[in-house]
Amino acid sequence: MVPQRMHALAAAPARTTASELLGATILIIEDEAGTAEELAASFGASGANVWHAETGADARAMLKTALPDVILLDLSLPDVDGLVLCPRLHMEAEDVPIIICSSNADRREKLLGFKLGAEDFVAKPVDLDELQARVEIALRRSARGRSAGAHARRASGAEAHERSRLGQLDMDLARWRVTLAGQHIHLTPTEFKLLRFLVNRAGEIVSREELARMVWGDSSMRDSRTIDAYVRRLREKLSGSAAPTIVGVRGLGYQLLAPL
């Protein structure tokens, strides 16, 4: 089945949620349709963007498009053991927290899951409120880790400035936090790095090769669709009259323009 994005059910009641869930992207890897729909409705009602894959192959294929902030991983998948898939996701998803959801709560399986890169382990049937709380904790831990890295870079002299600004766009480099006209914009770590680089070169045309080298550390991926996917996501998140515009310059690269 083709990987798909699942939106909150129209009838799902809105909830008052922590800011971590609002705008976060959750990838649910679950082959049981009823469970997947229940999880999608719950997280969608809390303001998250929800994607769903039924198989391990689908999940790996959609990682660069979904760009998740948290992954919920079922261990009983039709094409691969979740414990085999977990370390692959851990390597490919840029340290995105992985929460295993399994009907087998065997202690040895839990320990193996943690050793293979899982952030947390939840036994099925899941309590939706508890699972949401665990996802929020994972998001906060991820944010703290990025913030600690920024502080360490500043202490070593690698971080010359604490903020980058362009019009009403404000990037707090210490907290990895972005606001636009005073409103918080939730970005993944790679989105943040990409935006910061474009802001620092605002008005200039930046080649795809340079973006690949400076943001991903690999100039060979200049022809990869990954760059286009991240630029597309940034355009979606930076909307409104106060937002800068990312323009594609055919054959050359991308250019960030300040709002008029």
One domain, residues 138 and 215? no
CATH number, domain with residue 19: 3.40.50.2300
In this structure, what are the phi and psi dihedrals at residue 88, rounded to the nearest 5 degrees?
-65, -45
CA neighbor of 24 nearest in space, from 142, 196, 145, 146: 142
Q: Which domain range does residue 84 map to? A: 4-142
CA distance 257 to 130: 43
What pLDDT score was predicted for residue 246? Answer: 93
Q: Which amino acid is at 181?
A: A
219 pLDDT band (50/70/90 cuts)? low
One domain, residues 125 and 24? yes
- 115 domain residue, yes or no: yes
The residue-averaged pLDDT of 107-115 equals 88
- 151 domain residue, yes or no: no
The residue-averaged pLDDT of 82-91 equals 88
pTM: 0.57
One domain, residues 20 and 126? yes
Among 105-109, 110-114, 146-150, 228-232, whose mean pLDDT is lowest? Answer: 146-150
CA distance 243 to 170: 11
Among 50-54, 161-165, 196-200, whose mean pLDDT is lowest? Answer: 161-165
More confident residue, 189 or 16: 189
What pLDDT score was predicted for residue 218? Answer: 67
Tokens 């474009």, located at residue: 198
CA distance 117 to 239: 35
- 154 domain residue, yes or no: no
What's CA 146's distance to the chain center, in Å?
13
pLDDT tens track for 24-35? 889 999 999 999
More confident residue, 132 or 150: 132
- 150 domain residue, yes or no: no
Quote the percentage of the chain above a pLDDT of 70.
82
pLDDT tens track for 88-103? 888 888 678 999 999 8
Tokens 């320990």, located at residue: 111
What pLDDT score was predicted for residue 253? Answer: 92
**71 pLDDT exceeds 50?**
yes
216 pLDDT band (50/70/90 cuts)? confident
Among 106-110, 242-246, 247-251, whose mean pLDDT is lowest? Answer: 106-110
What pLDDT score was predicted for residue 146? Answer: 55
**145 pLDDT exceeds 90?**
no
Longest dimension (CA), the chain: 59
- Which DSSP symbol is given to 242? T
CA neighbor of 98 nearest in space, from 59, 125, 129: 59
CB 246, CB 255: distance < 8 Å = yes
Helix residue ranges per DSSP H, 9-127: 33-45, 56-66, 82-92, 107-115
- 158 domain residue, yes or no: no
CA distance 36 to 14: 19
What pLDDT score was predicted for residue 34? Answer: 92
17 pLDDT band (50/70/90 cuts)? very low
**5 pLDDT exceeds 70?**
no
CATH number, domain with residue 230: 1.10.10.10
One domain, residues 10 and 126? yes
What pLDDT score was predicted for residue 106? Answer: 80
The residue-averaged pLDDT of 20-27 equals 83
Domain count, the chain: 2
Helix residue ranges per DSSP H, the chain: 33-45, 56-66, 82-92, 107-115, 128-155, 189-200, 208-211, 225-237
CA distance 116 to 84: 8
CA neighbor of 192 nearest in space, from 140, 135, 239, 146: 146
CA distance 199 to 246: 10
- What the block records as the tokens of 14 is 């809105």
- 73 domain residue, yes or no: yes
CA distance 22 to 46: 7
SS3 232: helix
- 222 domain residue, yes or no: yes
One domain, residues 128 and 14? yes
CA neighbor of 56 nearest in space, from 91, 101, 104, 88: 88
What pLDDT score was predicted for residue 14? Answer: 40
One domain, residues 19 and 132? yes
pLDDT tens track for 151-185? 554 454 544 446 788 889 998 877 778 999 988 89
